[in-house]
Amino acid sequence: MPSKQAEAVRRHWTAARRAMVDADAEPLDDESWGDLTAEPREVDYIETEAGGVPAMWVTPKRSAADRVLLCMHGGGYLSGSIYTHRKMFGHLAKATGARALVFGYRLAPAHPHPAQVDDATAVYRWLLDQGIRANRIAFTGDSAGGGLSLTTQLRARQRGLPLPAASLLISPWVDMEANGESYATNRDRDPFFLRESVRRFAGVFLGPDGDPHDPLAGPLHADLSGLGPIYIQVGGDETLLDDARRLDEYARKAGVDVQLDVFPGMLHTFQMAAGRAPEADEAVRRMASWVRPRLGLQPLTGPVTD
């Protein structure tokens, strides 16, 4: 049974749905998404520009300066920002013992696909140009940012860039057609992500001439062979559950080292409740424990504190 603290995630998505369908409902401030997350202690934030893209360094005290989490925020490619997600990625960076670089890619509909993958690739190239080695970088992202964590690697490979050491994907959105069976089986459990809504978001993201089968939009249509290890987390009650399951199966068939963790009773991007909900803190701990050795850091030996 979800903790009382985790129920805040359900309330958030319920309010978001109400604001989307009810003209009389109070509009939901996009920045309120970040209110789910507690402020992590001993983490500094410095805004910068990375490859022409607005970004923010998230630097925990005593973190390894030469290990970096490249962080891609969620929001359906339509919303979200470095500000909504800085705290959540701050918790993950602190647990990992690395710096994080969060960036603000251009959003649809003003900037449809492939603007987002182009921005992400520019940031990655910039990070490499700063002298950070690819095998000391891990990509991470939630929802749309999870899909972008994969498509950026595909674009980087096209352009001859070295690939990162690993990827940490949170409730990744990887199917622009929303064909997963869990859109039906979890429809009554997920208060926001209905199949028809997700298809509408995809249409806005892709633009009028976009192709949902484009590998740089939907990684389930891409050649994933040669990518580094992937760790996926997903909520058991969310409709995007099958996005994660299908990605796990597809990546395995491509020869990728992949691990999938399903958190029973949890909803989409429940990790945003880090520092408040025990389920989110456990998820952050698992991600950090998995990625540390892949960045050349010592394994975790004790509990992670906020």
Residues acting as catalytic residues: 143, 238, 268
Q: Reading across the β-sheet that carries 166-170, which strands appear in turn?
A: 43-50, 53-60, 98-103, 64-72, 137-142, 166-170, 230-235, 258-263
Residue 139: strand pairing partners: 70, 167
Three-state DSSP class for residue 137: strand
Tell me how many degrees the CA angle 105-111-114 measures, rounded to the nearest 5: 75
Contacts of 14 (CB under 8 A, 6+ apart): 191, 192
Instruction: Round to whole Å and give the CA distance between 88 and 145.
Output: 13
Rounded distance between C-alpha atoms, residue 176 and residue 215, angstroms: 10
Task: Give the pair of three-digit tokens for residue 80.
Answer: 């979200």
Q: How far apart are CA 277 and CA 286, in angstroms?
A: 15
Q: How many CA atoms lie within 13 A of 286 on its CB side?
A: 19
Compute, in degrees rounded to 10, the torsion defined by CA atoms 297, 56, 139, 13. 120
Start-end of H helices in 130-227: 144-158, 182-185, 195-206
